[in-house]
Structure 1
């Protein structure tokens, strides 16, 4: 399975997919960003390597109503989430091997380990409050 790109026509479909059991790997980007444009092929490669996960490409400017409050410092930014737990939120070097290892490492954690990790630092606690893509989509749909 390849990634899906959030657009105005598929919001309900993506919101439903986010509510499922699969891991979510979201790339937060901007159309004007050359690094993001280059990273798009890498993101597709990652999606092909991890067909059990939902890969979502989100242009933060086109969908500011969904992700507008997220503090995206640089591009591309990856968000990894399982159920209601955000496992990672941060800038990712455009390196497929590095992203692949990150996805493997986080998805290998048990739910209990993820829950423990989610509260292990102030930054991670903040991710839970601000970066939960399921919540952001629900709020944008309301």
Structure 2
């Protein structure tokens, strides 16, 4: 499966693809960012290796009404969630092997383990409150 690209015409489709408990991996980038342009192919390859997961490419400027309040410090920023549990939100090296390890590690966690991890620090509790992509799409 190739990744979905969030735009103003397919928000319902992306929200529908995120239903259930499959892992969602979203990359938050910007069209003007050279690193993001290069990383896009890496993200697409990762999506093809993990057809059981939903991959979403989000341009933070074009979709600012959805993700504008998220604290994106640098690019690429990945958001990984299962259901309504945000497992990871942060900048990663633009390296396919790093993203692969991140996806595998999150996929290996049992839902109850992921939920415990998600509430284990103030930062992670903040992710639950602010970074839940399903909630942002529904708002």
2:93 aligned residue: 93
Matches of 2:7 and 2:69 in 1, distance apart? 18
Deviation of 1:21 (Å) = 2.9
1:49 aligned residue: 49
Runs of 4+ in 1 over 4 A off after TM superposition: none
2:80 aligned residue: 80
1:71 aligned residue: 71
Cα-Cα RMSD = 0.7
1:26 aligned residue: 26
Provide the secondary structure at the position in 1 that maps to 2:78.
Answer: strand
Q: Is there any run of 5+ residues in structure 1 with no aligned partner, and where?
A: none
Matches of 1:15 and 1:111 in 2, distance apart? 20
TM-score, structure 1 as length reference: 0.95
For residues 58-100 of structure 1, what are the alpha-carbon distances to aligned partners after superposition, in whole Å with 9 as ceiling and x for unaligned? Answer: 0010001100110000011000000110000000111101110
Matches of 1:21 and 1:106 in 2, distance apart? 12
Provide the secondary structure at the position in 2 that maps to 1:15.
Answer: helix
For residues 9-55 of structure 1, what are the alpha-carbon distances to aligned partners after superposition, in whole Å with 9 as ceiling and x for unaligned? Answer: 21111111122332100000000000000000000110011110000
TM-score, structure 2 as length reference: 0.97
Matches of 2:51 and 2:18 in 1, distance apart? 15
Matches of 2:112 and 2:22 in 1, distance apart? 17
Matches of 1:18 and 1:62 in 2, distance apart? 20
Q: How does 1:111-130 map to 2 (within 5 A)?
A: 111-130=111-130
